[in-house]
Chains A and B, each alone.
Chain A
Amino acid sequence: ETGVTQSPTHLIKTRGQQVTLRCSSQSGHNTVSWYQQALGQGPQFIFQYYREEENGRGNFPPRFSGLQFPNYSSELNVNALELDDSALYLCASSPETGAANEKLFFGSGTQLSVL
């Protein structure tokens, strides 16, 4: 186990609703990244937070937003849910940011289904 915890593990929402996913990073890690993994695809980078600031963003619309707290835990918020948002959402923590050899430690993920 990596020590990265995510909640909830499963979630069912309807189109148009809003959702908040949570992540606690591994002890000693100050960087949290969020990924979306659709079935049969690799993880797609959503954004990264470093010391409570957004530190990079992938090709996702503004309705995907996030926060990082002083204890380095993080939230992913998605507004106006669409059917295509159904996916496994992964949180990954790392001990530092900006390093080319940065290794990711993933949580167990939240499986989101949008009906």
Chain B
Amino acid sequence: QKEVEQNSGPLSVPEGAIASLNCTYSDRGSQSFFWYRQYSGKSPELIMSIYSNGDKEDGRFTAQLNKASQYVSLLIRDSQPSDSATYLCAVHPGGSYIPTFGRGTSLIVHP
């Protein structure tokens, strides 16, 4: 079974700090990786996608992918209380167009 693992948290960081969220996956053939943000009681919204090894930056967000080690991470710089949410990692296993989601990491940014 193809799995996506995330620490459920909560991860608590002070306002202005860097939040680092990690995700590991089991299928070496995976090609596409996504981070979704989900506020409590709301639906997930896409914030980042990454397909190649290395870093991809978008504003305060940086996605990092290391296929050899089978992990993908999300860094949030200058964390704000409004970033408090659950962050879901989604991975397309090799040969599949259906993403597998992790259980999500709860992030709390305290003032």
Contacts and interface: CB of A to CB of B under 8 A. Distances in A.
A42 B104 contact: yes
A35 B43 CA distance: 11
Contacts, number: 63
A90 B32 contact: no
Contacts of A102: 32, 92, 97, 99
Contact of B42 (A42, A45, A100, A108): A108
B25 interface: no
Contacts of A97: 97
| Interface band, chain A | 20 to 34
B22 interface: no
Contacts of B6: 42
A103 B46 contact: yes
A66 interface: no
Given A97-B97, A98-B97, A103 B34 contact: yes
A44 to B, nearest CB: 8
B49 interface: yes
A1 to B, nearest CB: 9
A29 to B, nearest CB: 14
Interface string B29-44: 0011010100000111
Nearest to B8: A40
Interface of A: 2, 33, 35, 40-45, 48, 56, 58, 88, 90, 97-109
16 contacts: A33-B98, A40-B103, A42-B4, A42-B101, A42-B103, A42-B104, A43-B88, A44-B101, A48-B98, A88-B43, A97-B97, A98-B97, A99-B97, A100-B32, A102-B92, A104-B44
Interface of B: 4, 6, 8, 31-32, 34, 36, 42-46, 49, 51, 88, 90, 92, 97-104
Q: Which 6 A-B pairs have the closest CB atoms?
A: A42-B101, A106-B43, A42-B103, A100-B31, A100-B32, A109-B43
